[in-house]
Amino acid sequence: MSDPSRTHAMTRRALLGTGAAFGALAAAPAALAKAPLADAARRKLGGLEVAPVGLGCQWVRTPDPDRVSDYYGSVLPRSEARELIRAAVDRGVTLIDTAEVYGPLVSEEIVGHALSGIRDRVTIETKFGFDIDPETGERLGGTNSRPDHVRRAVEGMLRRLGTDRIDMLYQHRVDPEVPIEDVAGVIGALMQEGKVLHWGLSEPGIDTIRRAHAEQPLSAIQNEYSMIWRGPEEAVLPLCEELGIGLVCWSPLAMGYLPGKITAGSHFAEGDFRALVPRFAPENLPHNMALYHIVDRWAQEKAATPAQIALAWLLSRAPFVVPIPGTTRVDHLAENAGAAEIRFSDDELAALQSQIDAIPIQGARLPEGVLAGTGVEAPRRD
C-alpha cells in the first residue's frame, strides 16, 4: 500500500453496488457468511497460498484513543475494527495486510488483538521501511532500511501482532541509500530465525526486483493496481509472471471510486487523503467518471455490484493477482468476497477490456510527494 499517513497528517494541518444487487447482498448476510472465498480457488504468492481477496487494514490515530480513522475520514471504535477483521476471517479471508506506518503502529496493534486465538487461520503481511521509532511510533523522517533498524522494526511488529512469525514482510518503500542486497541479507537472517517466512517489496523499481529476488527469492510485489491505474501491466506484472512472484494489489477499488462512492461533483473534506489525489481533482474527476459508468453497466448486466466487477476484473488478469480492499463495513466485506464467484467469458473480457482501454484517465494517481517514493531503484554496493 502507499504511505499516505505522512500526507494525511499534512492534510489535517493544511487543508470515502448498484441498488438492487447491493440490496440483495445486504439482505442475505447468512448466505454470504459461508464465504464464497472458502470455495474459490486459492492463489499463490510465491510459496504462500491464500484466498482470492484479502483485507487491507489501514487505520490512523484520532484524538480519542478508543477510536481510529481510515484515510478517507471514516471514524470507528477500535473494537469495531477488531470485529471487522474477525468477520473477514469468518467469511474466508485468509490474507490480512497492514503496516508499521499505518497509525503509526496502531493498525498492527488492532490486527494483533483481532487475531488473538485465530492467528493460525490467516496469513499476516506487514511492512517496514520508513524511519519510525518502533517503540513510540514517532516519525523520524524519510525511509530507513538499514539492517539494524529492520531488526528492531520486526521485533516491534511481532510484539504488536502477538505472533512469533510474520508470514509476509514487505519493504514498504525502497530506501535510496541502502543496497537491496543488504536488505535481502537481513531478511534472510530473519527467515533462518523463523521470525519471517516470506518477503516482498512495495512499489519498487524493476531492477531492484530482479536484484532482490536473486539475493533472497521474493514471494510478492505489492503495487497499486486497479481499473483506474494499470501501470503494473507495463513491466511489474510480466516480471512477476517470469519470476513466479505474486502481485498483491492495494487500492483495488480506487479509494472508493470504482464502487460508486465518488461522483463527478464530489468534494473531499479536510483529512480525506483523496483531496490530495490529482485524478480526483475538480478539473479531472468529471472526465474520469466515464470509467465508472462502464463498470456500473457491467454490474447491472452481471447482476453484481460495481465493486465486485472491479475486483473480478483484477482476478482475471493473472492467477497470482490478489487484491486487498479495505473497508469499515461488514456488508462490504461480504460484497468484496463475492467477487471471487464472478466469471467472465473470453468474449466478455475482451469487450470489457476494450471499453476500459478507450477511457484515458486524467490526473496522477498519487500526490507528487508520495509518488516520488514509488519505482525507486536501490543503490548498488560500492
SS3 readout for the chain: CCCHHHHHHHHHHHCCCCHHHHHHHHHCHHHHCCCHHHHCCCEEECCEEECCCCEECCCEECCCCCEEECCCCCEEEHHHHHHHHHHHHHCCCCEEECCCCCCCCHHHHHHHHHCCCCHHHCEEEEEECEEECCCCCCEEEEECCCHHHHHHHHHHHHHHHCCCCEEEEEECCCCCCCCHHHHHHHHHHHHHCCCEEEEEEECECHHHHHHHHHHCCCCEEEEECCCCCCHHHCCHHHHHHHHCCEEEEECCCHHHCCCCCCCCCCCCCCCCHHHHCHHHCCCCHHHHHHHHHHHHHHHHHCCCCHHHHHHHHHHHHCCCEEECCCCCCHHHHHHHHHHHHCCCCHHHHHHHHHHHHCCCCCCCCCCHHHHCCCCECCCCCC
Could you tell me which of 257, 256, 255, 280 has the C-alpha nearest to residue 267?
A: 280
Which pLDDT belongs to residue 40? 59
Looking at the DSSP bridge assignments, the partners of residue 45 are 48
User: Quick one: how far is CA 143 from the chain centroid?
Assistant: 19
The gap between the terminal CA atoms of the chain, to the nearest Å, is 31
- In whole angstroms, what is the distance from residue 327 CA to residue 67 CA? 15
Beta-strand pair 48-50/43-45:
antiparallel
Whose cell is 464465504? That residue is: 35
Q: Are the CB atoms for 309 and 298 separated by under 8 Å? A: yes
Catalytic residues: 102
pTM: predicted TM-score of the whole model, two decimal places: 0.89
**Burial class, 48, CB count within 10 angstroms (exposed 0-12 / middle 13-18 / buried 19+):** buried
For the record, the C-alpha cell of 245 comes out as: 512472484
Q: Which three cell numbers stand for residue 283?
A: 478539473
Query: According to the model, what pLDDT value does residue 134 have?
Result: 84
Q: Could you give the CA distance from residue 139 to residue 336 in angstroms, rounded to a whole number?
A: 33
Task: Tell me what pLDDT residue 129 has.
Answer: 96
Per-residue model confidence as pLDDT tens for the chain (382 residues): 444 433 333 333 233 233 333 333 333 333 333 444 544 589 999 999 999 999 999 999 999 999 999 989 889 999 999 999 999 999 999 999 999 999 999 999 999 999 999 999 999 999 999 999 988 899 998 999 999 999 999 999 999 999 999 999 999 999 999 999 999 999 999 999 999 999 999 999 999 999 999 999 999 999 999 999 999 999 999 999 999 999 999 999 999 999 999 999 999 998 899 999 999 999 999 999 999 999 999 999 999 999 999 999 999 999 999 999 999 999 999 999 999 999 999 999 999 999 999 999 999 999 999 999 999 999 998 7
